[in-house]
Amino acid sequence: MQRIKILAQSFIREEGGATMIEYALLAVLIAMVVAIAAITLGQAISNQFNKVSNCVSSPSTAHCSPA
C-alpha cells in the first residue's frame, strides 16, 4: 500500500506530460497560423503571378507598369 502511495505522489509531481502537451498545443497553434496565412495570402499571390504571366506572354496588350 505504501508503494502505491509513493507512485501516486510521484505521478502527481511529474511535469513531463504537461510539458509535452504544452509543446503539442504550441505546434498546433503555429500550424493554424501558417494555414490561415496561406489561405489569406494564397489568392493575392496567385493574382500577382497571373499578372506577371500576362505581361510576359503579351507585354503590348497588358498593363505591365512596375507598381
| pLDDT confidence of residue 4 | 81
Confidence tier at 54 by pLDDT (50, 70, 90): confident
| 3-class SS of residue 64 | coil
* Global confidence as pTM: 0.50
What's the helix, strand, coil split of the chain in %, to 5? Answer: 80, 0, 20
36-49 residue pLDDT tens = 999 989 988 998 89
List the domain boundaries for the chain.
2-57
